[in-house]
Structure 1
Amino acid sequence: MSVPEPLPPDGVLAAPADRLVAREPTPGLSDTSPDEGLIEDLTVEDKAVEQLAEGLLSHYLPDLQRSKQALQELTQNQVVLLDTLEQEISKFKECHSMLDINALFTEAKHYHAKLVNIRKEMLMLHEKTSKLKKRALKLQQKRQKEELEREQQREKEFEREKQLTAKPAKRT
């Protein structure tokens, strides 16, 4: 069973408890420590170290295990929240795409109405042009008929004048 080592009061980490050796304190950590030099005089028994380690573990291990369990639960909850968030984001994007689709349909209706109006106008213009063409054809036929009648009238008058013109009489 591995046992975490307690920190000595001067902040210097030593070897594992069964091989504890006095070392120089780290400069700046505890320059004015009242316990300075005491670690050199200390003899450590393995049984005492073992009991202290077990006591320390029994004191802190349940809290650490509860903390570990709580962290695992939090991690699981975080994963669930992230999945839920991703689903909500996809729904939001889908809503935006639905809004875009709705806008496109509205625009399509608008342009369809414009096309229907243009088609109506084109049909109306086609009817008007057809009527105008018929009327123009009738007018042209009427003019031609009138011109033909005038021409015939002139010819008749010319013939009549010809007949009315005095002819010298034949001597017999």
Structure 2
Amino acid sequence: MDSESCGELTVANQETVQKLTEGLISHYLPDLQQSKSALQELTQNQVVLLDTLEQEIAKFRECHLVLDINALFTEAKCYYNKLLNIRKEMMTLHEKTSKLKRRALKLQQQRRKDELEREQRREKELERERQLIAKPAKLS
């Protein structure tokens, strides 16, 4: 083969390659552009979906916080009721101790009164015994 025919073949091959490339591109390009547009739409939908999902997650977190707050209020109410019961018990105990102190004071006063009466009776008896003891008569 001579160089001229080789050059023609190369040019013919280049033209053929060019035409085949253009044919191939024109055949697949519309589908590829459609796929590209579909992928862009999917990407946009995915972004919207991710935003919506993040908002829903935030709502769930808020719900959990509300549940936690409700649990805290329930616990606080329980402790408040316990506090009221303890206060009621303390009031009852205070009343009982006050009654016991008054009773103890009355008993102490009664015991002192009884001891005083016993002491007075003993003194009266001693005085009576002294009076009953014979006294020697004085010589005048």
TM-score, L = length of structure 2:
0.84
Say yes or no: does 1:58 pair with 2:58. no
1:155 corresponding residue in structure 2:
123
Instruction: Look up the SS of the partner of 1:169 in the other structure.
Output: coil
- Identity among equivalent positions (%) equals 74
The aligned counterpart of 1:114 is 82
Q: Which amino acid aligns with 2:51?
A: D
Query: Any unmatched runs of 5+ in structure 1?
Result: 1-40
Q: Give the gaps of 5 or more residues in structure 2.
A: 1-8
Matches within 5 A, 1:132-143: 132-143=100-111
Number of positions where the alignment pairs a residue of Structure 1 with one of Structure 2? 132
Alpha-carbon deviations, 1:28-72, whole Å to 9, x = none? xxxxxxxxxxxxx99843333323322222221111111101101
Deviations 1:74-130 (A, max 9, x none): 011111111211221222122122212211211111111011101110111011101
Q: Which has the higher contact order (CA 8 A, sep 6+)?
A: 1
What is the root-mean-square deviation in Å for CA atoms of aligned residues? 1.9
The one of 60, 64, 73 aligned to 1:105: 73
Distance in 1 separating the partners of 2:12 and 2:66: 75
1:13: which partner in 2?
none
Q: State TM-score, norm by structure 1.
A: 0.70
